[in-house]
Structure formats: structure tokens, C-alpha cells
Structure 1
């Protein structure tokens, strides 16, 4: 497995890969400040496309950067699921997803491409999560929640059943979302309130 990224998120992804006894074939980064990363040789990302492989994961937490790299590579990639993840057999998961330790993903959840479900997060039945979303640690999504492309749900946030969150929104840490959230909105607090809007070219 090849890992694209050399930050904190990549460290966790590499641990998950190793938990499956899979070999790390290469670590790639856009800015190779050091020659190694976790004792693996660090390679220049610009050379990665020449490999023409599907056995890679984009281990970068930033949703916009993850989308850009996925669009540059224009090929499907592997998904990584920690052994402790409770994953319903009816879950549909896209390419390049990462499900971290102690996550729970329940029946009939649909997950897009290159989504991060971070440690101890819970995604209940019938949720729909679009491409390039990041669900942070200890997030609780109740049933039938919809989350649009590129949205980041911050650590410890809670979303009640049936809420629709738009694309490229930001849900702040610990927020309690009780109503629909429009595209690009930044929501904080309990109950969650919009405080501004993201300026993102998607």
C-alpha cells in the first residue's frame, strides 16, 4: 500500500495499514522536508503518478487538498478500515475511505469517495455522506443525516435525526445540530448557530 501524505493523519493511517499486516510500499509527500517519515523513505509526490497503481490511500486530513489530489490522480484507490470498526454488511463505501479505530457505521449508510470517519465516531442507519467529508473523533450522527461534499464535522459534534448539512460546511467542535445547514455555513454552539460562511472554490 502506498501512502500519500506525511503528517499526523498519515501516522494514524499507517498504523491501520500495519494492523492488517499489509506492507507500506511507499510514502509520498508534496513537500519532502526530511528524507524519511516514520522510518520509511519519503518520496516526492510529483513522481507518484508514474506508478499507475490503485493500491494507495490519500492520508491527508484537509478535505480540499484530498479532493485536489484525487482529481489529479483520476483513478480509484483502496479503502482502509481499522479492525475495531463496527461496520454493517449493508454499508456502501466509496474508494479511498478511511474508517479509524472504534468507529460504528450502521445499516444502509452510504459513504462517498475519500471520506474520513475518525476515531470513536458513530454513524447511524441510513445516513448519506458525500465525497471528501471528514467526520472527526467522537462525532455522533443520528439516523437519516445527509452531509454534502467536503464538509468537516468537528470533534464531539452531535447531529439529530434527519438533518441535512450542505457542501463544504464546517460544524464546530461540540456543536449540536438540530436544523438543516446550508452550503458553506460555519456552525458552532448548542444549539448550533451559523456564525459565518466558508469561502471555498469547489
Structure 2
């Protein structure tokens, strides 16, 4: 477990990440932000990223909910990252979670799941056996993925959405809140409803 952790992004999402880290008794040294709005967030000092050199070395965790911004920052920083798993999450010993990812309280990650870099598995989300979650994905609170689902890079599975077994969701797609996904979803698609229907395509990431 990393003893010194820095966060990037003093946002509302950051507050939840702070709670995850502190639940594991990890010490957060500071929060960096491009445009700090206050000096402290939940008692932790907030500093401009330009001030980073004045702090000791430590691993970074990007505490920003937007997938595309999280990717840009990760590629820009090029630093050592850590991950965060809430102690009240259920994570199979046979699953794999890459660096930079955060798993919130109440989430369930079952056997043979692979989760990429800088993902968010949010509160109460369920990721069943053999799912493959690519980098920069966000699985929102109470969303459920049945077994053998694959989710492409940067996609966002909305709150309370349900994805049946064996589905492939393309990269940088959006699955709306409460949607029920019964068929594969192509890249950049925006899908809503029950059953899920494509309403448009995003132009880019």
C-alpha cells in the first residue's frame, strides 16, 4: 500500500476518492488542481499543480470523473500512479485491477474480471465474472454488468444501467441511466432506454 499519495483534481468526485483512501489509512499529502478554488478540501491542502515541486515524491491518483479529461491528464503527467479499493468493496482474488483505478464502497468485482487503467467502479456497481473493462471507463453507481461483458476505452455506463451477458460495448460510448443493454453497442454511440436504443453518435472523444 502506498504511504504517500497525491490527488489531481479538487472536485466532488475527489471527496469520494479521499474517503476511499482514508478508509485504508492512506495518507494524502496534497491535492493538485489547475485552478484551485480553495486552500483545503476535506481538510487536505489544495495547491496549484505548478507547486508540485515543493512536495515530496509520491504516487498520484487522478480524482476527476470525466473520462476524456482523466485520459489527457494521465498521458500528460507520465508519473507513477496508484489505485484505491474501498475496504467495503468485494473484489475477487482472481480479478485484476490496473493502476490509477478506483473501486468505491459496495462495488462487487467477481472472478476473472480485468479492469484497465484509470477506471472508476462506482458505489454499488456490479461487474460479473470474465468482464473486460478497458482503460478510462466509468461504471456508475448501481450499474450491473453480467458475465463476459467487454467495455471499450473511455465508455461511461450510466447509473443503474443493466448490461446482459456477453455484450460488447464499443469505445467512448455512453450508456444512459437505467438503460437495459440487450445487443452490442458500437464505438461512440449514445444509448438510452429499455431496451437500449442508439439516439446519436458522439463526434469524437
Map 1:31-46 to 2 at 5 A.
Answer: 31-46=35-50
Task: Give the whole-Å Cα distance in 1 for the aligned partners of 2:74 and 2:56.
Answer: 13
Query: In terms of mean alpha carbon deviation, does 43-52 or 30-39 score higher?
Result: 43-52
SS at match of 1:24: strand
Q: Residue 102 of structure 1 aligns with which residue? A: 106
Task: Give the whole-Å Cα distance in 2 for the aligned partners of 1:175 and 1:119.
Answer: 18
Q: TM-score w.r.t. structure 1 length?
A: 0.95
**Does 2:61 match 1:57?**
yes
**Does 2:175 match 1:171?**
yes
Q: Residue 134 of structure 1 aligns with which residue? A: 138
Task: Give the whole-Å Cα distance in 1 for the aligned partners of 2:142 and 2:123.
Answer: 7
Q: Residue 121 of structure 2 aligns with which residue? A: 117
Q: Residue 90 of structure 1 aligns with which residue? A: 94
Q: Residue 19 of structure 2 aligns with which residue? A: 15
Q: 1:54 to 1:93 in 2, by over 3 A?
A: farther
Q: Compute the RMSD of aligned alpha carbons.
A: 1.4
Contact 1:54 1:78 in 2 (8 A): no
The number of residue pairs the alignment matches comes to 201
Q: 1:191 aligns with which of 182, 186, 195?
A: 195
Q: 5+ unaligned residues in a row in structure 2: which ranges?
A: none
Contact 2:97 2:117 in 1 (8 A): yes
Q: 1:157 aligns with which of 155, 158, 161?
A: 161
